[in-house]
Structure 1
Amino acid sequence: MGKVISYLRDRRDAALIASACVLLIAAAFKPTLPMPRNIYSYILVADISQSMNVIDTNLNGKPTSRIAYTQYMLHHIVANMPCGTHVSIGLFAGASVAALYNPIEVCSNYAAIQDTIDNLDWRTAWSGNSRVRESMLTLARVIRAFPEPAQVVYFTDGEEAPKLHAFNTKDLTNFQGGNGWLFVGVGSEKGSSIPKLDDKNQLIGYWSADSFAMQPGIAQISEANIGVRDNNVASGEGDRYISKLQEDYLKSLSKEVNGDYVRADNLQRILSAMKNQKPARRDIAPYEIQWILASLAGLLFLMAYFPKKPFNALSKWLSRKRIV
Structure 2
Amino acid sequence: MRLTRRLFNYLRHRLDVALLALALLLLIAALFKPTVPVKRDIYSYMLVADISQSMNAPDMRLGGKDVSRLVYMKDMMRRVVASMPCGTSVSVSVFAGVTIAAMYQPLEVCANYANIQDTISNMDWRMAWSGNSRIRSTLPSIARTIRSFPAPAQVVLFTDGEEAPRLHAFNTENLESFQGGAGWLIVGIGSDKGTPIPKLDEQNQLIGFWSNESFALQPGIAQISESNIGTRDDNVALGETDRYQSKLDEEYLKTLSAEVEASYVRGDNLQTVLAAMKAQKPARRETAGFELRWILAALAALTFVTAFLPRHPVQTLRAALASRLRRRVVTS
**TM-score, with structure 1 as normaliser:** 0.75
Matches within 5 A, 1:143-222: 143-219=146-222, 222=225
* 1:65 CA drift (Å): 0.3
Q: Which of 220, 235, 256 lines up with 1:253 in the alignment?
A: 256
Equivalent residue for 1:20?
none
Q: Report the CA distance between 1:178 and its aligned residue.
A: 4.3
Equivalent residues of 1:183, 1:262 under 8 A apart: yes
Secondary structure, aligned partner of 1:108: coil
Distance 1:130 1:92, change over 3 A: same
Does residue 93 of the first structure (1) align with residue 89 of the second (2)? no
> Quick one: which of 235, 238, 241 aligns to 2:238?
235
The AA in structure 1 aligned to 2:189 is: V
- Aligned-pair CA distance for 1:278: 1.5
Q: Partner of 1:167: helix, strand, or coil? A: coil
Contact 1:94 1:135 in 2 (8 A): yes
Which residue of 1 is the match for residue 57 of structure 2? 54
Task: Please state whether the residue corresponding to 2:48 is helix, strand or coil.
Answer: strand
| Contact 1:89–1:99 (Cα < 8 Å) also in 2 | yes
CA shift, 1:234, in A, is 4.4
Aligned residue pair count: 258
1:320 aligns with none
Q: Percent identity?
A: 64
The 10-residue stretch of structure 1 (176-185 or 100-109) with the greater mean CA deviation from structure 2 = 176-185
Q: Partners in 2 of 1:152 and 1:49 — Cα distance?
A: 19
SS class of match (1:87): strand
1:12-60 C-alpha deviation (Å, 9 max, x unpaired): xxxxxxxxxxxxxxxxxxxxx9975311111000000000000001012
Structure 2 residue ranges without an equivalent (≥5): 1-34, 299-316, 318-332
Is the Cα–Cα contact under 8 Å of residues 84 and 285 in structure 1 kept in the other structure?
Answer: no
Deviation for aligned residue 1:232: 2.2
Tell me the alpha carbon deviations over residues 291-321 of structure 1, each in whole angstroms, 9 at most, x when there is no partner: xx9xxxxxxxxxxxxxx9xxxxxxxxxxxxx
Instruction: Report the residue type matching 2:193 in the other structure.
Output: K
- Alignment check: 8 A CA contact 1:196 1:234 kept: no
Q: Deviations over 1:212-246 (max 9, x none)?
A: 11122344774864785222244321100011100
2:41: which partner in 1?
Answer: 38
Higher Cα Rg, which structure:
2
Secondary structure, in 3 states, of the residue corresponding to 2:59? strand
Contact 1:48 1:125 in 2 (8 A): yes
Distance 1:224 1:275, change over 3 A: same
Instruction: Find the aligned partners of 2:82 and 2:238 in 1 and give their Cα distance.
Output: 41
- 8 A Cα contact 2:221 2:230, kept in partner: no
1:272 matched to 2:275? The reply is: yes
Q: Which runs of 4+ in 1 moved over 6 A?
A: none
> Is contact 1:94–1:227 with CA below 8 Å preserved after alignment?
no
SS at 2:219 equivalent:
coil
Alpha-carbon offset, residue 130 of structure 1: 0.2
Letter in structure 1 aligned against 2:108: E
For residue 124 of structure 2, what is the aligned residue in structure 1? 121
- Cα displacement string for residues 246-298 of structure 1 (whole angstroms, at most 9, x for unaligned residues): 000000000011110000111111111111112122344779x9xxx9xxxxx
Partner of 1:70: 73
Deviation readout 1:104-144 (Å, 9 max, x if unpaired) = 11110000000000001000000000000000011111111
Unaligned runs of at least 5 residues, structure 1? 1-32, 294-307, 309-324
Does structure 2 retain, via aligned residues, the 8 Å contact 1:127–1:227? Answer: no
Aligned residue for 1:51, secondary structure, equals helix
The SS at the match of 1:217 is helix
SS for the counterpart of 1:55 is coil
Q: Which residue of structure 2 aligns with residue 296 of structure 1? A: none
The question of whether the paired residues in 1 share the 8 Å contact of 2:218 and 2:230 is answered with no
Give the deviation of 1:191 after TM superposition: 1.1
User: For the residues of structure 1 that align with 2:118 and 2:230, how far apart are their CA atoms?
Assistant: 28
Render the CA deviation track for 1:184-229: whole Å, top value 9, x for unaligned: 0000111100000000001111000011111223447748647852
CA distance in 2, matches of 1:207, 1:118: 26
Retained in 1: the 8 A contact 2:210–2:237? yes
User: Match for 2:51: what amino acid?
Assistant: I
Aligned counterpart, 1:17: none
